[in-house]
Structure 1
Amino acid sequence: MAMSTKKDERKITSYCDWMSQLPVELHDIPLYDLAIPGSHDSMSYDLDIDSPIIEPDRLKILSKIYCARKIVRKWATTQEETITKQLDAGVRYFDLRIARKARDSNATQLYFHHGLYTHTDVETVLKEIKDWAERHPKEILILALSNFKGFDKAIAAQLHKHLIGFIKTLFGAKLIHIRDKLTLRSCWDKGKNVIVSYDYPTTQHGDIWSKIPYFYGDTMNTTKLESKLRHVLETARPVKYFFVCGLNLTLPGDFRILQYILRLCDNLANVIRRGLPRLLLWVKQQAAKTPMNIVASDLVTRNDFVKTVIELNALKSVRA
């Protein structure tokens, strides 16, 4: 379970604090050159079976049917552990999709979503993350907020202003500015350990980052997924910036979805369990050819996903 290199015999003894245990030669390389485990649709473990269906669009009309909501949840649940447990397991990038419920009496109450809304609201979860970040000041967290649903034009500006204001107040001096030197050592020296990526124009906020590119296969076929990601990594990978290599499988957006959701004895978690070992083997092989930064997956606490990604830094240490 531990990682060591010829240059540095220190080992990872706890994935809860793995960044502080990396070889010293990695403390001064850019964070976008580190291999960082991330979770795809990080809050999907918390989906509310009693909420209306918000995606896919063709199933919205079935929101009042319990069986339909149950099927959506079965195929939309990509994580099985809470945010805190994902953090404790070593995950450092979080894919957080935001939504406002229609006709909510609280104008600024927001939730997460993936097919359905979550039980827990956004502010509650962000407070949990902030508390964890304070207990682990040397672990750098990347929070990617995106896919804003229910942000109608009449209130969108107000909602974004409120959410950004809440984030800046909550994390305060822990937020890493876009102009800060981006290494572990420099972040530790300044007492900063939270990056917030926001998929909405935020040029007036230097401590709120723009969207981090997320590359994925848009397929349920692992061979096609590997091929698409390989092409990106070898030809289109961003230079000197964060990027996400998404191992997540994606259900079709058309009628082909029926071949999956009508499987009465199957669900997305089972499909992921069958495919993840192969994808992790591919990650190790590809990392020897092209640099990896954030690697995101479903079911992040399974199949040694976190361990596999963190150990890619051993290659970087040898090259450093």
Structure 2
Amino acid sequence: MAMSTGEVTSYSDWMSQLAPQLQDTPLYKLAIPGSSHDSMSYDLDINSTIIEPDELKKLSPILCARELVRTAATTQDVTITQQLDAGVRYFDLRISRKTNDPEPNKFYFYHGLCTRTDAETVLRDINDWAGKHPKEILILALSHFKDFDNNIEELHHNLIESIKTVFGAKLCNKVSTQDPFPTLKSCWDKGTNVIVSYDYSANQEPELWPRITYYYGNSMEPATVESKLESDLHMRGPNAQNFFVCGLNLTLPEDTRVLKYILNPFDKLTNVIKRSLPRMLQWLKQQYSQTPYINIVASDLVTCDDFVSTVVQLNKPTPTCVEA
């Protein structure tokens, strides 16, 4: 039940607790916490071949190499349901098939390695949660689609049909330039609470949204990330009318410098990420106070350092947010 004060007391249902003035605000104007670097990275399969980085692919047969990749690639340490319960509403879901998989129509998530759990099982878990929390709007961003080179159209068709079957009437259709952008209230009225972004240009399904722009610093240095995000947000401006992600996450190099972080026995990547979070959250609050047009904010290790509460608390009614 929405609270007239707009005070959030439970992050498992924070959208339903926002101030009534915000219920008619387009979703691209709400601050929404999200998880980055594949939301399923807690479930990586040590028996999977190495998908990335390229520098280590040839070492896939070596167990210790796969263990190193799994350690470095585990950027989320709690399950998808725990992330949902914590208040996360945007999910970075990178799709792959497993090499030489005897089940060609089975899909997995990946970050360095494939996950143990297949995609349909996880989507059904998300659907079950969405059914129990009908006023919480979930945004699922599916992308990358590794090992889709053969039978690409058939594979996309099968995955899309699976998505439509799992979520059914919960799916919120993408909008055109003539359509009003979804709000909390419009989703509640229609009984829809799942938005699926599908990053494949040939996708024409009305139930699936196009790629959501993701701004990130592409660096392991917080100062560089902040500077790049400030530039991107300035270039975007306050008037664009679509979803976008501001990624607070650090990003590993794509060349041999990645080994510095993967092979360092004294400073795990998760520790590096945790040290950066308080600073990044302080930057977020300062940035929002100066240019209040933040939408989705994504991070690694989303249950650390008050990440969710910091993002959610950015949602304050303004003079331009009036009730219909």
**TM class by smaller structure:** over 0.9
Distance 2:117 2:27 in 1: 30
CA RMSD of aligned residues (A): 1.4
**Residue 271 of structure 1 corresponds to which residue in structure 2?**
272
Q: 2:6–2:20: 8 Å Cα contact kept in structure 1?
A: no
Compute the displacement of 1:203 (Å).
4.7
Match of 2:289 in 1: 288
* Percent of paired sites with the same residue: 60
Tell me, in whole angstroms, the C-alpha distance in 2 between the residues paired with 1:241 and 1:190.
20
Which amino acid counterpart does residue 48 of structure 1 have in structure 2?
Answer: D
Separation in 2, partners of 1:276, 1:160: 36
- 2:215 is matched by which residue type in structure 1? F
- 2:9 aligned with 1:13, yes or no? yes
Task: Pick which of 230-239 and 113-122 moved more.
Answer: 230-239
Query: What is the rounded CA distance, in whole Å, between the counterparts of 1:155 and 1:139 in structure 2?
Result: 36
Match in the other structure for 1:171: 167
Q: Deviations over 1:126-148 (max 9, x none)?
A: 00000000000000000000011
Q: Distance in 2 between matches of 1:259 and 1:55?
A: 15
Deviates more, 1:196-205 or 1:264-273: 196-205
Residue 253 of structure 1, CA deviation? 1.1
The answer to whether the Cα contact below 8 Å between 2:55 and 2:256 also exists between their aligned partners in 1 is no
1:235 aligned residue? 235
Q: Distance in 2 between matches of 1:28 and 1:228?
A: 31
Q: CA deviation at 1:173?
A: 1.0
Q: Would you say the 8 A contact 1:16–1:87 is kept in 2?
A: yes
Deviations 1:30-80 (A, max 9, x none): 000000000001000001111110101121000011111111111111000
The within-5 A match list for 1:96-175 is: 96-152=93-149, 154-175=150-171
Equivalent residue, structure 1, for 2:263: 262
Contact 1:202 1:209 in 2 (8 A): no
What does the per-residue CA deviation read over 1:242-271, in whole Å, with 9 as the maximum and x for residues that have no partner? 000001111111122222222112222111
SS at match of 2:145: strand
Structure 1: give runs of 5+ residues left out of the alignment.
Answer: none
Equivalenced residues, count: 312
TM-score (norm 2): 0.93
1:13, distance to aligned residue in structure 2 (A):
1.1
Q: CA deviation at 1:317?
A: 4.0
**Preserved contact between residue 33 and residue 298 of structure 2 (Cα < 8 Å):** yes
> Which shifted more, 34-43 or 197-206?
197-206
Which residue in 1 is equivalent to 2:199? 199
Distance 2:264 2:67 in 1: 13
Cα separation, 1, equivalents of 2:197 and 2:63: 35
